[in-house]
Amino acid sequence: MDSSSGLTIPETAAVLGCSLKTVRRRIAAGKLPAERIITPQGHVWLVRLEGHQVDRPDLVSASGRQDGAMEMTRTVASQVTESLSRRLEELARENERLKQELAALQVAQDTTLEDAGPSEAPTGLWARFLGWLYAPA
């Protein structure tokens, strides 16, 4: 049996709708045909399910599992992309609104400082703060 012709123990458990221990017991009892494959990372059990009662036939085909996973990944990626695009547009609109608001505030501030005569000029601590804030760099 090559690595593409069987399911791992967790996959088999998912397909059969039972626990990992149950799958291992069935392999040990000879109720499930399985082969132990040695890999560079250790061994792996591959189980053949042909002719066995399967609760979820959509998981039996390895290519079907991969196609389903890829389709789900594409769907999620598409949803995330759409969501991020909408958020980016919202942020761009908010940025433009804030730029306009800042420009209006700067005009109002300039007008207020120009209109302030000597009698209206701030004094004391407030004057020192404004002098520091608007001092030429």
What pTM did the predictor assign? 0.38
pLDDT digits (tens, 9 = 90+) for 90-117: 999 999 999 999 999 988 887 776 665 5
DSSP 43: E
CA distance 121 to 114: 10
Contact present, 46 and 35 (Cβ < 8 Å): yes
Residue 118 has what pLDDT?
56
Between 122 and 15, the more confident residue is 15
pLDDT tier, 22 (very low <50, low <70, confident <90, very high otherwise): very high
pLDDT tier, 2 (very low <50, low <70, confident <90, very high otherwise): very low
Asked whether residue 17 carries a pLDDT value surpassing 70, the answer given is yes
